[in-house]
C-alpha cells in the first residue's frame, strides 16, 4: 500500500526535526555527516537541508558545514522565555542594574553558545553589551565561563573537547588547560570575569543560575566599558553572584 500524502509529510517532518536535533548536539556538520549520522540518503538530506536553509532554520557555516540558523534561535528564545528562569529573574536583574549601574544580561545555553534572552540597562550604562538574541561563545565570555564552571566535570570536559577556542582578542584564552584552570577558580569563588577577551572595549563579570538539582540553566552578567569595569570588578562581582543565587533559590535551588 502506498503511503498517503499525510504520512509522507509526517515522515519529512520527522527527518527535518532529526536534522535540527543532530545539529543542536554537534553544532556544525556537513551534509554527508548528517546523512550518515541519521541514516538518510544524501539526496534526501540535501533536499531537507536546502528547505531548512530557505526557512531560516539552518545557516551555512565554514567548509561546507551547516549550523542552526536564526529561525531556530528564535524558537529557542521563545521556549526559554516561557520557562521559570525568565519569569523569576527580571525584578532581581533590574535591582542588579541599579546597584551596579551597568548593563545586566541573562543568557541561556543554545548548543555550544550562550544566547541572551534578557537585558537591562543601568543608570550609567554604555552600549557595549549584547542585545537580546545575541549569541556569545562559551570560552571567553562571563556568562559562558560561569555556565561552564557550574557544570558537572564530565559534561564540562565533553564540551571543552568539542568547542573551538577561537581568539577574538589578544587576551582570549585559547589553551584548554588554562581555561580549565580558570573554570576551577570560577567554581571556587562563585563568579566569572571577562577582561577584554571577547571585545577589546568591554569587561564584565558573571555567575551561573542553578535549578533545583544544582544544574546550571542560565547565567547572568554585568558589563560595561573595559576601563571602568576593570576597576569595579572586585566590588560588582559579589553582587552579581548573590543575585544569581537569589534567582536560583526562586527556582528551588537550596545551597548546601
Q: Do residues 167 and 240 share a domain?
A: yes
Q: What is the pLDDT along the chain (256 residues), one digit of tens a residue?
A: 445 554 555 588 999 999 998 998 888 999 999 999 999 999 999 999 999 999 999 999 988 999 999 888 777 765 655 467 878 888 999 999 999 999 999 999 988 899 998 888 877 755 555 577 788 999 999 999 999 999 999 999 999 999 999 999 999 999 999 999 999 999 999 999 999 999 999 999 999 999 888 999 999 999 999 989 999 999 999 999 999 999 999 888 887 7
Q: Do residues 79 and 202 share a domain?
A: yes
Rounded CA-CA distance 68/20 in Å is 7
**CATH code assigned at 11:** 1.10.10.10
**Helix axes of 153-162 and 176-189: crossing angle, nearest 10 degrees:** 150
* Residue whose cell numbers read 536560583: 248
Q: Do residues 43 and 105 share a domain?
A: no
CA distances from 84 to 89, 122, 147, 214 (A): 9, 24, 17, 15
76, containing H or E segment: helix 70-81
Say how many domains are in the chain: 2
Q: Do residues 109 and 168 share a domain?
A: yes
| Domain final position from 19, 53, 68 | 68
Indicate whether 256 belongs to any domain: no
Indicate whether 255 belongs to any domain: no
111 Rama class: left (phi>0) / alpha (psi -120 to 50) / beta:
left
**CATH code assigned at 83:** 3.30.450.40
First to last CA, the chain: 61
Rounded CA-CA distance 84/207 in Å is 18
Rounded CA-CA distance 18/159 in Å is 21
Indicate whether 146 belongs to any domain: yes
Q: Do residues 82 and 117 share a domain?
A: yes
Rounded CA-CA distance 127/145 in Å is 22
202, containing H or E segment: strand 202-210
Q: Do residues 57 and 90 share a domain?
A: no
> What does DSSP assign to residue 197?
S
Q: Do residues 188 and 132 share a domain?
A: yes
Q: Do residues 55 and 82 share a domain?
A: no
Whether pTM > 0.75 for this model: the answer is no
Cβ atoms of 234 and 214 closer than 8 Å = no
Cell matching residue 254: 537550596
Rounded CA-CA distance 94/105 in Å is 10
233 exposure class (CB count in 10 Å sphere: 0-12, 13-18, 19+):
buried
Indicate whether 140 belongs to any domain: yes
Instruction: Give the closest residue to 109 by CA, choosing from 82, 148, 70.
Output: 148
Q: Do residues 30 and 146 share a domain?
A: no
255 Rama class: left (phi>0) / alpha (psi -120 to 50) / beta:
beta
Q: Do residues 22 and 141 share a domain?
A: no
Q: State which residues form the domain around 140.
A: 75-250
| Domain final position from 40, 68, 96 | 68
| Domain final position from 25, 50, 68 | 68
Q: Do residues 169 and 64 share a domain?
A: no
Give Cα 69 distance to the centre of its chain.
14
Cβ atoms of 104 and 76 closer than 8 Å = no
Q: Do residues 26 and 124 share a domain?
A: no
Indicate whether 82 belongs to any domain: yes
Amino acid at each position: 500500500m502506498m503511503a498517503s500524502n499525510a504520512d509522507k509529510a509526517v515522515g519529512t517532518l520527522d527527518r527535518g526535526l532529526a536534522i535540527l536535533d543532530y545539529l543542536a548536539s554537534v553544532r556544525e556538520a556537513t551534509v554527508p555527516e548528517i546523512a550518515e549520522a541519521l541514516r538518510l540518503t544524501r539526496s534526501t538530506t540535501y533536499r531537507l537541508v536546502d528547505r531548512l536553509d530557505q526557512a531560516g532554520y539552518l545557516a551555512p557555516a565554514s567548509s561546507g558545514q551547516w549550523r542552526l540558523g536564526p529561525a531556530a534561535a528564535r524558537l529557542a528564545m521563545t521556549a526559554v522565555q516561557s520557562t521559570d528562569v525568565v519569569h523569576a529573574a527580571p525584578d532581581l536583574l533590574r535591582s542588579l542594574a541599579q546597584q551596579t549601574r551597568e548593563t545586566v544580561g541573562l543568557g541561556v545555553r543554545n548548543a555550544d553558545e550562550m544566547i541572551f534572552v534578557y537585558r537591562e540597562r543601568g543608570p550609567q550604562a554604555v552600549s557595549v553589551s549584547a542585545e537580546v538574541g545575541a549569541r556569545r561563545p562559551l570560552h571567553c565570555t562571563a556568562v559562558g565561563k560561569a555556565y561552564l564552571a557550574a557544570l558537572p566535570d564530565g559534561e564540562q570536559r565533553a564540551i571543552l573537547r568539542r568547542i573551538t577556542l577561537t581568539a577574538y582578542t589578544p587576551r582570549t584564552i585559547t589553551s584548554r588547560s588554562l581555561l580549565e584552570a580558570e573554570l576551577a577558580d570560577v567554581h571556587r569563588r562563585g563568579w566569572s570575569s571577562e577582561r577584554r577577551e571577547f571585545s577589546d572595549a568591554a569587561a564584565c563579570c558573571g555567575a551561573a543560575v542553578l535549578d533545583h538539582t544544582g544544574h546550571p540553566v542560565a547565567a547572568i552578567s554585568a558589563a560595561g566599558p573595559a576601563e571602568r569595569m576593570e576597576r569595579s570588578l572586585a566590588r560588582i562581582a559579589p553582587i552579581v553572584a548573590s543575585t544569581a543565587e537569589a534567582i536560583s533559590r526562586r527556582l528551588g535551588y537550596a545551597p548546601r
